[in-house]
Amino acid sequence: MKQYRVGIIGATGMVGQRFATLLEKHPWFTVTALAASSRSAGKTYKEAVGDHWLMATPMPKSMENMVILNAEEDVEKVASLVDFVFCAVNMKKEEIKSLEEAYAKAECPVMSNNSAHRMTPDVPMIIPEINADHIAVIDAQRKRLGTKRGFIAVKSNCSLQSYVPAIHPLMDRNVTKVLACTYQAISGAGKTFQTWPESVDNVIPFIGGEEGKSENEPLKIWGHVENGVIVNASSPCITSQCLRVPVSDGHTAAVFVSFNKKLEMEEIISRWENYKGVPQELQLPSAPKQFLHYFREEDRPQSKLDRNLENGMAVSIGRLRPDTQYDIKFVCLSHNTLRGAAGGAVLMAELLCAKGYLD
């Protein structure tokens, strides 16, 4: 595999920092540009972040003295220094849309962690193990943008990264209804217990916009490419509630599922344990060897014990049993800033590299 030069747009934020740590020793990718807001532009990465480094591991030495570029004003310069960028910025939705399209039109592909383009019909929203075939829509997107290399690909919301992978191996049984209650870590809000003391010993029963994303984004992921756009699936019917809980990392979901064609419990577990996607077949660097892990212990998965499974890229499932209102219920867990954010975007980029879209 060739080596790729990459940039991080939004490098000073929590997800940007996570990108930096994941890319420090990546076998395919080398960080050659960092960009952020005008407040950070012109400073070194170390100066710009200051005391706000939020990762457990130190800032990569190779990036400490890199000078931050202006994410909005230096688009052409960033594009000249990289083969593609990862983007995780804190801006208004329309501003993010414009920014990402500006990079794409500068012939710089964008691997987006933002929500702005998730429902754009010709922008693939990829969970690599589930809908890798959606990358085919990129050709139509390039025609719309008038680009040869440039395009935007997005990863889905972190709240559904645990339960959508668990439901996916059951979809051939005509899943009709899903109820998903998510219990989401504070890092999903870009916070730590030090920066958000109000979250300690507290449960907050509202996360703005999260339930709509949790109910609608899966239908795009389970959709199909047709006439240059992604046509959303018409089922299952999904309802959700999303709560912020006092956990540092790891989103847990309590999931209830009904389907037309029943399955025995052991067959469901077997489907989970044996499921493989394109990343496993291609042996991509960030891909977990086993995507879905089922725990037979009655008190697993637990965020503290299981969120870092397979470098935080696996999904943990447990407590499968029949339900009185739905057919089955279970609990699942994913690491929200790894599988759910930066790690998922890196895996998406690896998939696109392997398929030739970033050459």
Residues tagged active-site: 158, 251
Q: Which residues contact 80 (CB under 8 A, 6 or more apart)?
A: none
Q: Please give the Cα distance from 345 to 97 (Å, whole number).
A: 17
Burial class from Cβ neighbours inside 10 Å (0-12, 13-18, 19+) for residue 196 reads middle
Distance of CA 76 to the CA centre of its chain: 26
Q: In what order do the strands lie in the sheet with 152-154?
A: 69-70, 29-36, 4-9, 84-87, 110-112, 152-154
Query: For helices 93-105 and 138-145, what crossing angle results, to 10°?
Result: 90
| Token couple for 297 | 């212990």
| Token couple for 171 | 């979809």
Q: Which residues contact 127 (CB under 8 A, 6 or more apart)?
A: 155, 156, 161, 164, 165, 221, 344
Distance of CA 27 to the CA centre of its chain: 20
| Token couple for 199 | 């979250």
CA neighbor of 20 nearest in space, from 36, 39, 42: 36
The amino acid present at 135, given as its one-letter code, is I
Q: Which residues contact 250 (CB under 8 A, 6 or more apart)?
A: 185, 303, 304, 306, 307, 333, 334, 335, 336
Q: Are strands 251-259 and 175-184 parallel, antiparallel or unpaired?
A: antiparallel
Which single residue is written with the structure tokens 């067959």?
A: 267
